[in-house]
């Protein structure tokens, strides 16, 4: 099997227009969760979400357009023979809102297949790409798919681009599910009571390690293993015992040829809902019962960016491995008893070469990535 490396990353979040801006503010414990300004929140339990500042909507276009422009402008010229995978749950959802309110909107512009085509055109790629829709694990599954393509020798380069927006459609949906927190969310906190939505995007270039060496690409991190599993429990609620997440992580460990004790830190899904966080803590206990492993969630700072969450978190994980530290879990001031000593609103240094990044979504889907420290070996 071919070795897979990450050679370029970019991110746009509510905390910054670049990964470096977001990283610095994450380490400082800042949060982007604030009042939403681009639609009215009257009648909803909260007006809070983590939106990208100054993301103005061009006339007749989606806010996704300027988000992609900011994101892709940060990338170096990627190989023209790259395969392309995008990850988004809703794509240009604001155009659908327009149409439902009576505006004339081109039907084709509403389709998720337009997202990879836009990215391919912008990056000069021959491959028109395909969008991965796996609920809130979309980007994690896309990165695992990219790793599988390269490891199997089916291609030597894959660009993964993920993006999702804070929209009234999604806001109203989570409100109807009673899933929104009135205040900024508190992942893994004993007082957690719901999630805060967020938006943003990330782009990651994955290469065959031999090609990266040959062409002089940097090795920011190594994709060692990946896994996906469905707990088949409920359309919105995870299995209480974390069996789906455990299965995904065990797949990733098997692909990497690693034991659980190789994992030095965890970038968790951590939405701040009662049942998601409890499920993750149960899964981590099953997987790492013999030792405490530090973990965090970025969603108290960046909100839950749906299909983009796993890509943003993987991009941040590259910095975590480089500097040997997990950013604070914003909002987690009184950790759940099951997580005490492993998570908190403070940076957590860790020693080791391997970080687990996991995401879970509606329909019982779970995805897991094992990332290794970059640099030459």
What's the CATH code of the domain at 363? 3.40.47.10
- Contact at 8 Å (CB) between 4 and 223? yes
In the beta sheet, which residues pair with residue 131? 86
199 closest CA partner among 366, 71, 326: 71
C-alpha 118/C-alpha 375 separation (Å) is: 32
Which residues are known to be catalytic? 136, 269, 304
Please, which contacts does 74-77 make with residues 24 or more away whose CB atoms are closer than 8 Å? 74/10, 74/18, 74/19, 74/203, 75/8, 75/10, 75/123, 75/203, 75/205, 76/8, 77/124
Residues 286/287/293/296 CA torsion (nearest 10 deg): -80
Residues ≥6 apart with Cβ < 8 Å to 100? none
Determine the pLDDT at residue 377: 40
State the pTM of this model.
0.97
Q: Output b/e per residue, 166-203; b: 16+ Cβ within 10 A.
A: bbbebbeebbeeebbbeebbbbbbeebbbbbbbbbbbb
Over its length of 377 residues, how does the chain's per-residue pLDDT go in tens digits? 899 999 999 999 999 999 999 999 999 999 999 999 999 999 899 999 999 999 989 888 999 999 999 999 999 999 999 999 999 999 999 999 999 898 888 888 888 889 999 999 999 999 999 999 999 999 999 999 999 999 999 999 999 999 999 999 999 999 999 999 999 999 999 999 999 999 999 999 999 999 999 999 999 999 999 999 999 988 888 888 999 999 999 999 999 999 999 999 999 999 999 999 999 999 999 999 878 999 999 999 999 999 999 999 999 999 999 999 999 999 999 999 999 999 999 999 999 999 999 999 999 999 999 999 997 54
List, in sequence order, the alpha helices (H) in the chain: 19-27, 64-72, 93-100, 114-123, 138-151, 168-176, 209-215, 243-256, 274-287, 299-302, 309-323
Looking at the structure of the chain, the number of domains it has is 1
Structural domain for 218, as ranges: 1-377
């Amino acid at each position: 099997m071919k070795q897979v490396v990450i050679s370029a990353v970019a991110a746009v979040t509510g905390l910054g227009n670049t990964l470096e801006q977001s990283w610095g503010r994450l380490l400082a414990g800042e949060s982007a969760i604030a009042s939403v300004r681009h639609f009215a929140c009257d009648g909803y339990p909260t007006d809070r979400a983590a939106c990208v500042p100054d993301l103005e909507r061009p006339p007749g276009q989606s806010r996704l357009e300027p988000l992609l422009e900011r994101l892709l402008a940060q990338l170096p010229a990627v190989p023209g023979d790259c395969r392309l995978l995008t990850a988004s749950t809703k794509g240009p959802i604001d155009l659908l809102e327009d149409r439902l309110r009576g505006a004339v909107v081109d039907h084709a512009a509403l389709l998720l297949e337009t997202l990879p085509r836009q990215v391919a055109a912008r990056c000069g790629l021959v491959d028109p790409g395909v969008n991965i829709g796996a609920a809130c694990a979309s980007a994690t599954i896309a990165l695992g798919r990219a790793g599988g393509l390269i490891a199997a020798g089916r291609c030597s380069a894959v660009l993964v681009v993920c993006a999702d927006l804070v929209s009234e459609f999604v806001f109203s949906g989570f409100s109807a599910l009673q899933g929104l927190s009135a205040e900024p969310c508190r992942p893994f906190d004993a007082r957690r009571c719901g999630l805060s939505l967020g938006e943003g995007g990330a782009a990651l270039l994955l290469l065959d390690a031999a090609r990266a060496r040959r062409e002089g690409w940097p090795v920011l991190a190594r994709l060692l293993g990946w896994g996906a599993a469905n707990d088949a429990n409920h359309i919105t609620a995870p299995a209480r015992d974390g069996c789906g997440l455990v299965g995904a992580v065990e797949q990733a460990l098997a692909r990497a040829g690693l034991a659980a004790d190789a994992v030095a830190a965890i970038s968790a899904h951590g939405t701040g809902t009662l049942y998601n966080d409890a499920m993750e803590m149960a899964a981590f206990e099953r997987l790492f019962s013999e030792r405490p492993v530090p973990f965090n969630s970025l969603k108290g700072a960046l909100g839950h960016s749906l299909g983009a969450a796993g890509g943003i978190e993987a991009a941040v994980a590259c910095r975590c491995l480089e500097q040997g530290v997990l950013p604070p879990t914003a909002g987690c001031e009184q950790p759940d008893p099951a997580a005490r000593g492993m998570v908190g609103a403070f940076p957590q240094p860790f020693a080791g070469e391997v970080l687990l990044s996991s995401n879970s979504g509606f329909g019982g889907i779970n995805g897991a990535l094992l990332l290794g420290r970059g640099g030459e070996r």
